[in-house]
Structure 1
Amino acid sequence: MAADLVSTTFSGIVTEGAKALFEPIMRQISYVFKYQSYIAELKVQVKELEYKRERVGIPVREATQQRDEIYKDVADWLNNVDEFISEGVAKSIIDDEDRAKKSCFKGFCPNLISRYKLSKQAAKAAEAAASLVGKGNFSSVSHRPAPESTEHMQAKDFEAFDSRMKLFQDVVEALRNDKLNIIGVHGMGGVGKTTLVKQIAKQVMEDKVFDKVVMAEVTENPDVQKIQDKLASDLDLNFDLNDSKPHRAKQLCQRLTKEKRVLIILDNIWKKLGLEEIGIPFGDVDEKDRKQDLRRRTIILTSRSKHLLTNDMNSQKIFLIEVLSKEEALQFFEKIVGNSAKASAFQPLADEIVGKCGGLPVALSTVANALKNKKLPVWKDALTQLRNSNPREIHGMDANVCSSIELSYNFLESDEAKSLFLLCTLFGEGTPIQVASLLRYGKGLFKNVRTLENARNRVDALIDNLKASCLLLDGDAEDEVKMHDVIHVVAVSIASEKLMFSIPNVTNLKEEIEKIIQKGAIAISIPYGDIQELPERLECPQLKLLLLLANGDSYLEISHLFFEGTEDLKVLSLSGIHFSSLSSSLGHLINLQTLCLDWCQLEDVAAIGQLKKLEILSFRYSDIKQLPLEIGQLAQLQLLDLSNCSSLVVIAPNVISKFSRLEELYMGDSFPQWDKVEGGSNASLAELKGLSKLTTLEIQVQDAQMLPQDLVFVELPRYRICIGEAWGIWRANSETSRLVQLHGLENVSTLLENYGMKMLLKLTEDIRLEELTGVQNVVHELDDGEGFPRLKHLWVERCSEILHIVGSVGRVHRKVFPLLESLSLYKLINLEAICHSQLREDQFFSNLKIIEVESCDKLKHLFSFSIARNLLRLQKVKVASCNKLEMTVGKC
């Protein structure tokens, strides 16, 4: 009333032109006499903001649980609202309203100063709230992210040639046509079919034509189970180990049917392939779903044969990828070798060399990399070799292409690199080649290499050399390599001339082996075939390496005369074979250095103790029950692999301690029966203390009380240690070499104090904690607040008592998780906060890239605002089934 009276009085005595001058004054006066209106307006705006926050927050939470990405303006708006609410200004003003109602001078006049200040604050806060309400109108809050499954499909070597770009665009356009279910791409070997379809897959994913891409290589001898495994891996689908192929096909079909829009790539098909046998649904989807673009399944097939794609695989549209033109081939060649190719002296040589490569990128790449940074005489010699080379008779391949690849082989600078390259041919076409296998089979190839550590470094260096020469490629996994199919064909031809033979699946295996023996073979491999019968006597004096890699279902009797006449054999691998007994002729292999009996069923292995020069012995995944005392005679042993030998229950005491030269010991998911005391009825962990040369250890200890208190692993360069009942070293990150898992432990504090585990955890790069009790704060209780200075990956699952990952401020003395890249939290039912500390924001998670949180029902937000500002490297956030999660970022 008083404010209205003042306003009327002023209105009567001032001119219209002066009103604007007095309006600020009137507003100031109204703060005193209309404070209740300002407070009421603030309450209204705060309530409106809360309603709007709820309306936006619900779809955001749903989108987050569906792994969709929240739009940045939505996330920023939520953060601004949270900051407005968390600062508590509005609540403080409303709560202080009673103070403003009090009177001064014993109640005879109102407290005008308090009313003025409060009203002014309320007006400002109400204006801010109203502005936020107005900005919170979003038509949608999220979008689907580009699926991650295509990261490994990005074609690093794709070249945008003119002849390729038209084809590229045509195939992409065909993939947009939802009436085309099967599309074929054909061309000769080495022309770039795989590179092209990978780049096409990347493009259609970026254009959101598909939600998922899966890809598998088929090869000349298709392995249905391997194809199923690869497709399942791309779909994050896990098969049981004992699932039959038909059951896998059913599961795969069901999963692919549920996918919204999926592109399936089957690369390198040589003959008719049964899609139903693999588990790939094909044909039209439901018309309603197709029109709404809810369901699409399109298949791309690549092959060298046009007729196969059209007649046998019923491709509805096919595309030919041709060789490069002379101009494009020269451009590609010059790009690799550099400016020297343009010099007048080099130019004629470059023109003729490029012509010899037949326009195939794979041939051009290998030759160019061999000549890069080489002088003119080397180029002249290379051209002479290409001119004078004897063209190889390889079906379906240009002779000049064979010569160009062979030239790259000849240009390898060391015999060791050539030997390792040819060793790769013994694993079969299209088979991923594990680096660990190259080390175990190839150690004897290297000169002046005495230790496994030196051999490992040599293998890595040689692989880098072969990759630089484009003779090897990166594998799908970090610890694998592979060989282009065109290069593999030529390499097999070269290897056979060097008396190294790989025998594919043949009807008369016994006769084929006998033919090869007569040629004086130095290496024989039967890669993943059905081995039913072998010759009675091998009688191959020159043989150095023998790999019999059965498919896992072979019951084989090896004659007791079989190894007579093979005394120079250095490497023997008998994989996937069921033995009733080992051949007694095994004792003749007095020079044997590597013996691998992986995936075998074995009874008595005592005869192995006779092989006194043995350096590498592997029983990985074998059904072996006892490691007898005789094995302790292997004084030269450097590597012993007993990993995943789940039936192993007896290791004779004092056997392991006799391996004084042992460098690598693998016993993951194996041998739970450790004896508590040294010299008991079984092996004890105390025997490990005498292995002074040990560099690598994988071990499981089910009962922590079996650990000797003075057993220290911290000095080992590589280890994977599981304390508890379940072996679950869940990842093999190539950049991490120290992993620890604690599973199902009740008294963790005793383990940490008495067995040196705290020091071990401080130096570990990868930690998994599962089903622990007695732990509430990970950082404080497991490493005394040191902050895990070397940890890169942390996985915590089903630890019901954990309240915080990082606890209160008083116990943290330095940066926390400075190197941590991934944080995975699953089923932590009492987790209240990831971080419950008030350290500076730059002291937390400065390197974090990935965070995954699932089924943590008490968690309300992931990080505080201050910590979130420091997550500059964050790439992926996955949140699922966290029922009380209100926001990803909030106030601690």
Structure 2
Amino acid sequence: MVQRPVESSERRGEEIYEVVTKWLSDVDEFTEGVAKSIIEDEDKANKGGCFKLGSCPNLIQRYRLGKKAMKAKMDGTDLCGKGDFNSVSYHPALQRTKSMYVRGFEAFDSRIQVLQEIVDTLKDANVNMIGVYGMGGVGKTTLVRKVAMLAKENKLFDEVAMAEVTQTPDYKKVQEKIAFDLGLEFGQENEHQRRGLLRNKIKKEKNVLVIFDDIWTKVDLDAIGIPFGGVEKQGKDDKTSRNLDVLKKDMKIQKNIPVYPLSDGDSWNLFGKIVGDLAENPDFHYVAIQIVAKCAGLPVAISTIAHALKNESLNAWEDTLAQLKRSNPRCLLDMDETLFSTIELSYNFLKNEEAETLFLLCALQNAGSRMYIADLLKYSMGWSLFGDGYTLEEGRNRLHRLIDHLKARCLLLDDDEDDNRVKMHDIIHAVAVSIASKDKLMFNIQNVTSLKEVLEEKKDSNAISLPYRDIYDELPEKLECPKLKLFFLFVKNKNLQIPDAFFEGTSELKVIDLTGIQLFSLPSSQGSDIEQLPGEIRQLTRLKLLDLSNCLNLRYIAPNVISCLSQLEELYMGNSFVQWEVEGVDNQGRRNASLGELKRLSNLTALHLHIQDAGVMPRDLFFKKLKSYKIFIGDKWKWSHKYDLSTSRMLKLKINNSTCLGLGIKALLKMTEDLSLEEMNGVRNVLYEFDMDGFPHLKHLLVKDCLELLCIIKSVAWNLAFPKLESFILRNLINLEKICCGQLNAGSFSKLRIMKIEKCDRLEYLFASSMAKNFTQLQEIEVTDCKNLKEIFSEESTDHGDEIETNDKIDFNQLCSLTLQCLPQFIKIGSDMRVCFVFFIFYFILM
């Protein structure tokens, strides 16, 4: 009667009370003792003989056995009395530690109860598909993220993966996210192959939890590669959705757990945590209670309105309550009028026309999409959101401040995957769409039956967005919207034809975004197939940004077109036009633009450029205001689409003669953060010939195939070289004798994390032992194919004849990878010094 409930509780993952465990142990000990001391002794007692012709019990043994049996009876009765338990098990309490913190999760009683129910269900061996449902903004995503963290920390599962599904599921992205979380790397496999790899990976794991967040429609688990739902019991599947029918009917979820709005007490605590002491102020308290009641326990509503009221006056609070009471019902998605009014009120409380307009501008994007800040800048500047007279740099700073303003009021959110993007909660997005259409005649048109008729009805529009829908022959021949300022067309059908007269009725149009369309009759910019830049662009004398990135077929830019763009501040031509011609006396004979035209762009602050032939570059090319640049000089450079967010100034040089570098490029070298030097003929000393100041801003340095290079640094004791350098890579420098000739300041190389040396055959050591203390931040050292290298750090005489000796212990406690490969002369790491390495990967092959 005790053992069976204990076994059942253990299968449910519950903890057994210690007193029950002790009692069961006592029972085992008791029964074992009875078996040995009574049952076995009874056989002995019955074998004692008193007659030759028969046998009789051994009376002495029987008497002793009787006493043991009586004692056993009393002990057993007492033990049975102690085994009357009302309950044998309990749910283990959740551990609350700082390491379990999840952004946005508050440990309110109502949330802890739901969290505990989800965790208990995860422990149930009979349930392998769980649903978590509730209205938008109630906190489902935050809750399941907390579940995922607890599952990892408490080792409920060996592996945990989480993927967002959204309204328009992209199974490829879902597969990639789950694979990433499980440590599986995809190559070029198709969807079917990825499904097989993912299925096999999950089957190999002992216990896996997969969480699907934000489900709107049925998800085909088999198509993704999730084996749950069948006979497999090694994993569990957790899903969140606003729609219970999707979980119950479409997904056949075994158990669905509701997430309800916060209780009154939890709502008040959340509100008070945001607004601070004002909530308890006698003048504010009564108003605050009514405002919290109007928020109806929805965390997103409480958070948005609390942030809007933080540090505001009593008049503002009373006005807020009055507006909440007067709000009209709005039927958007599954929201009630209370939630709508709270979000609308946060918009009204921005008290900044620019922030309000930016908020509505985001409403023109697709619901749930991530918005690139760079795109928002183009829209804002083109629309003159900040007014006239703003430079792009000033506009960018202003935009970031407005974005922070919206984030602080929970109207915009950080994107977890990319710092260059922001996102908007889809409920807030729905409110923004409604406000934009009602108050500003800015329309986000989706899922209409007759697009032509709807567009004809929007003649007074200020902005129109058609976000990511299949459009074929639905566009009217002419868009009659004389007040239209912005037009966004994001389509899936790349072969869509825009009628020739489509824009003739939009004389006020300032911003057009035709993402995804391959234009045949109109010139496009980003990533287009155009072969020639239209000469009419020279008329855009107020243009501030020209982006010709990735125009792979661009071959012709007429002379004196670019130079007419006198107000240009940012020019992006990466992976694009390279047919620059020499500027000479007879400019009439040129077919293409010359780099000399860039000298007339006096306001240029950002430049991406590839110059294949250094001979066409003017020596007096100088950029006074340039702050951000990515300039490649020389042939065969591959333009990377990946950007290191830590660097904004990059130079790659590959030229036959360093003397052709003008003062302008040398000035940029002093500010460069990422520098690559390849096949630099005539160069013998990098630091001396390129920057006497020691490259104070450089973070990454690559030197490759410079056959005449003798040393990287030639300096004296007071020089500070590479104080910010993080990665240092030398490859195929066959005549390099030393990296450093002379003594360096203690701050040199002090930030270096990665050092890779390859095929530098004349090097006998890398650095003097006296410099080892400069490299304590090193995380990775890789030295390969250096035929004469004997030591990493070597003791040597300085150029001044001073012998350097050190017995100091130097800790390289950041080092996690050391590779020494194909070094036939290698002897040791350091000379007459104690060097302490702490590393996890050690790859050592001398021959």
TM-score by length of 2: 0.71
Q: Do residues 701 (structure 1) and 617 (structure 2) align?
A: no
Following superposition, the deviation at residue 856 of structure 1 comes to 4.5
Superposition deviation, residue 711 in structure 1: 2.5
CA contact (8 A) 1:643 1:667 kept: yes
Structure 1 residue 167 and structure 2 residue 114: aligned? yes
Aligned match of 2:543: 637
CA distance in 2, matches of 1:891, 1:696: 45
Distance in 2, Cα, partners of 1:320 & 1:830: 68
Q: Deviations over 1:444-466 (max 9, x none)?
A: 22224432222212211110100
Give the match for residue 132 of structure 2. Answer: 185
Distance 2:760 2:267 in 1: 61
* Partner residue of 1:341 out of 279, 291, 315: 279
1:580-591, aligned counterparts within 5 Å?
580-582=520-522
3-state SS in 2 of match to 1:418: helix
| Aligned mates of 2:737, 2:255 — CA distance in 1 | 55
What corresponds to 2:75 in structure 1? none
Match of 2:668 among 748, 760, 774: 760
Aligned partners of 2:307 and 2:409 also within 8 Å: yes
1:480 aligns with 2:421: yes
Distance 1:426 1:878, change over 3 A: farther
> Alpha-carbon deviations, 1:596-639, whole Å to 9, x = none?
xxxxxxxxx4xxxxxxxxxxxx7111111111322222211110
Query: Closer, same or farther in 2 for the Cα pair 1:630/1:543, shift >3 Å?
Result: closer
1:546 CA displacement? 0.5
- 2:308 is aligned with 1:370: yes
Q: Distance in 1 between matches of 2:201 and 2:367?
A: 29
Could you tell me which residue of structure 2 aligns to residue 672 of structure 1? 578
Provide the secondary structure at the position in 1 that maps to 2:514: strand
Aligned to 1:44: none
- Equivalent residue letter for 1:193: K
Counterpart amino acid of residue 317 in structure 2: W
Paired residue type of 1:168:
L
* Structure 2 CA distance for aligned equivalents of residues 432 and 508 of structure 1: 28
Deviations 1:693-720 (A, max 9, x none): 0011112223444433333458511112
Aligned partner letter, 1:280 = G
**Which protein, 1 or 2, shows the higher relative CO under an 8 Å CA cutoff with sep ≥ 6?**
1
Judge conservation of contact 1:786–1:813 (CA < 8 Å) in 2.
no
Q: Is the 8 A contact 1:842 1:867 kept in 2?
A: no
Match of 1:550 among 486, 491, 494: 491
Q: What's the CA shift string for 1:645-683, capped at 9, x where partnerless?
A: 111122122221221110000111111322244543322
1:810 paired to 2:742: yes
Deviations 1:735-788 (A, max 9, x none): 53222345xx475x7279667655534322234567989999976786568254
Separation in structure 2 between the aligned mates of residue 867 and residue 420 of structure 1, nearest angstrom: 59
Structure 2 segments unaligned to the other structure (5+ residues): 1-98, 700-723, 795-805, 838-847
- The change in CA–CA distance for 1:576 and 1:304 in structure 2 (over 3 A counts) is same
| Residue 663, structure 1, aligned to residue 569, structure 2 | yes
> 1:773–1:348: structure 2 CA closer, same or farther, 3 Å change rule?
farther
Q: How many correspondences in the alignment? A: 686
Secondary structure of residue in 1 paired with 2:731: coil
Structure 1 residue identity aligned to 2:517: I
In structure 1, what is the Cα distance between the partners aligned to 2:162 and 2:682? 45
Residue of structure 2 equivalent to 1:86: none
Provide the residue aligned with 1:500 in structure 2: 442
Compared CA separation, residues 550 and 857, structure 1 to 2 (3 A): farther
Q: In structure 2, how many angstroms separate the alpha carbons of the residues matched to 1:828 and 1:175?
A: 55
| SS of 1:392 mapped into structure 2 | coil
Picking from 481, 502, 507, the partner of 1:567 is 507
Displacement after TM superposition at 1:307 (Å): 2.9
Is it true that 1:390 corresponds to 2:328 in the alignment? yes
* 2:148 aligned residue: 201
Equivalent position of 2:358 in the other structure:
420
| CA 662–179 in structure 1, closer or farther in 2 if over 3 Å, else same | farther
1:319 alignment partner, SS class: strand
SS of residue in 2 equivalent to 1:222? coil
Q: How does 1:209-608 map to 2 (within 5 A)?
A: 214-227=161-174, 237=185, 263-277=209-223, 279-283=224-228, 298-443=236-381, 444-475=384-415, 476-498=417-439, 499-506=441-448, 508-515=450-457, 517-518=458-459, 520-533=460-473, 534-551=475-492, 553-582=493-522, 605=523
Among candidates 707, 711, 733, match of residue 801 of structure 1 = 733
1:688 lines up with 2:598 in the alignment: yes
Counterpart of 2:365, as a letter, is F
- In the TM superposition, 1:13-162 aligns within 5 A as 155-162=102-109
CA change 1:649–1:521 in 2 (3 A) is same
Structure 1 or 2: larger helix share? Answer: 1
C-alpha distance in structure 1 between counterparts of 2:732 and 2:124, whole Å: 51
Identity of aligned residues (%): 44
How much does 1:685 deviate?
2.1
Q: 1:725 to 1:497 in 2, by over 3 A?
A: same
Aligned position for 2:767: 836
| CA spacing shift, 1:219–1:804, aligned 2, 3 Å | farther
CA contact (8 A) 1:729 1:741 kept: no
Q: Alpha-carbon deviation of 1:213? A: 5.2
CA deviation map 1:373-413 (0-9, x unaligned): 01111100000000111121123223211111111111001
- Superposition deviation, residue 167 in structure 1: 2.9
Deviations 1:544-580 (A, max 9, x none): 11101122x4222222332232211221112211233
Larger radius of gyration: 2
Please report how far the alpha carbon of residue 344 of structure 1 lies from its aligned counterpart in structure 2 after TM superposition.
Answer: 1.4
CA deviation vs aligned residue, 1:128-172 (integer Å, no higher than 9, x gap): xxxxxxxxxxxxxxxxxxxxxxxx998422212122223334434
* Aligned residues of 2:445 and 2:465 also touching (Cα < 8 A): yes
**Aligned equivalents of 2:732 and 2:389: distance in 1?**
50
Tell me which residue corresponds to 1:611. none
Cα shift at 1:201: 2.8
Partner of 2:516: helix, strand, or coil? strand
Q: 2:658 pairs with 750, 755, 769, which one?
A: 750
Q: Does structure 2 retain, via aligned residues, the 8 Å contact 1:422–1:495?
A: yes
1:767–1:890 Cα change, 3 Å? farther
C-alpha contact 1:778 1:805 (8 A) present in aligned 2: no
